[in-house]
Amino acid sequence: MAPATRSLLHSAMLLLLLLLLATSRQATGAVVATELRCQCLKTLPRIDFKSIQSLTVTPPGPHCTQTEVIATLKNGQEVCLDPEAPLVQRIIQKILKKGKAN
């Protein structure tokens, strides 16, 4: 392989590695991206309700074909929750009821 080709290949591999490292893991198993595509690459089926500071539910749209539930925890971490999980649905209902009571 020519030195120029080897250098280009090395640079491309380094760039790919840096891009992979730039993806931030906010909590165990829950990756939150920041681009105009699905933000939740992995989801958690459950979380302690008391650790949630706020919850964002994003319906399907042109950026992503699935509903996304992102919880911001009291420690500042963001985690993606499985919108189909029964516990997550109960948490959403509890927050909605709390919001109507105010």
Per-residue pLDDT of 32-74, as tens digits, reads 555 568 889 899 988 888 899 998 999 888 888 999 999 999 9
Q: Is residue 39 part of a domain?
A: yes
| Number of domains observed in the structure of the chain | 1
pTM over 0.85: no
Angle at 99 between CA 101 and CA 28, to 5 degrees: 140
17 to each of 7, 12, 37, 94, how far by Cα in Å? 15, 9, 21, 41
Token code pair at residue 13: 């591999």
Q: Is residue 15 part of a domain?
A: no
**Residue 30 sits in a domain of what CATH number?**
2.40.50.40
Cβ 20 vs Cβ 60: under 8 Å = no
C-alpha–C-alpha distance, residues 70 and 55, integer Å: 6
Q: Is residue 5 part of a domain?
A: no
Q: Is residue 4 part of a domain?
A: no
